Amino acid sequence: MIVQCYEARSDNACMSTSAELEASLQPKIAATIAQLQAAARDHDRVVYSSSLGAESLVLTDLIWTHAPQIGIFTLDTGRLHEETLSLIERLERRYGQRMQVFYPDPAALQAWVSANGINGFYNGIAERQGCCAVRKIEPFKRAIAGAGAWITGVRREQSSTRALAQPVEIDQANGGIAKISPILDWTHEEVWHYIRSRRLPYNPLHDKGFPSIGCAPCTRAVEPGEDSRAGRWWWENSESKECGLHPRIRAKPAA
Ligand code: SF4
């Protein structure tokens, strides 16, 4: 078992495990950078959809450092934690870059809340997916309109449906553009080693038991050992737990 060593410590055992982890991660970092740069070279416009979760910090660091032609955007659903919004500003300050923020269409949001109530997403899967459609899917489609490819931070470890993902897929649901997942094979330990060792800003909710962070009313802390997505839409069964950006039916792998 690899013992994580995030803080600067002087005991040699800890330093060597951290060094071993860094050494084993180096080829994955190089491959991810190569994939990002190839995407920027091979497509007219490439965008990265940042969820502001742990994986996003890795990709934001690699993109703004090694492939700045890729535009980074995120979605402010109107129901995010304050800690998540603050993270946008902390990232922008660190890199001296601006992250584009997309918001729900005001008229569509007004209509949805009028029909379903302010917290109507708790009433059933259809209502929850309807809220995600207004607050996430429509703004996402606006954000990637005209792009040749979009980058995701999906990892195979995250869920049984994500385990089926391919590094490059054709995203038929979004006009047949390329959907590229460059950190598909990174492990949870590797993601956190990268964040800690480079002292990247991260959402403090991760230290309070939130491995995966979405909207505040739809995210809760999980118990140690629970699935990393167990805190998302916890009142639904695992089969329905996606907002629609990463559908259960996988897109076609690209050649
Ligand atoms: Fe609405 Fe919850 Fe989906 Fe956020 S995660 S868009 S609040 S249903």
Residues 104-146: tens digit of each pLDDT: 999 999 999 999 999 999 999 999 999 999 999 999 999 999 9
The pick from 75, 77, 140, 229 for probing ligand 1's pocket by mutation, whose C-beta has the most ligand atoms within 8 angstroms, reads: 77
Q: Is the pLDDT of residue 7 over 70?
A: no
What is the rounded average pLDDT of the residues 40-44? 95
What CATH number is given for 12-253 in this structure? 3.40.50.620
On average, the pLDDT of the chain sits at 88
What is the rounded average pLDDT of the residues 11-37? 84
Verify whether ligand 1 is closer than 6 Å to residue 232 (CB atom).
no
Return the residue whose CA atom lies nearest to atom 5 of ligand 1. Answer: 215
Predicted model pTM: 0.86
Residue 243 appears among annotated catalytic residues: yes
Tokens of 132: 């995600």
Q: Is the pLDDT of residue 230 over 70?
A: yes
Are residues 232 and 241 in contact, defined by beta-carbon separation less than 8 angstroms? Answer: yes
Position with higher pLDDT, 181 vs 1: 181
Cβ-Cβ contacts under 8 Å for 101 (sequence gap 6 or more): 73, 74, 75, 76, 88
Verify whether ligand 1 is closer than 6 Å to residue 77 (CB atom).
yes
Return the residue whose CA atom lies nearest to atom 2 of ligand 1. Answer: 218
Verify whether ligand 1 is closer than 6 Å to residue 87 (CB atom).
no
Verify whether ligand 1 is closer than 6 Å to residue 121 (CB atom).
yes
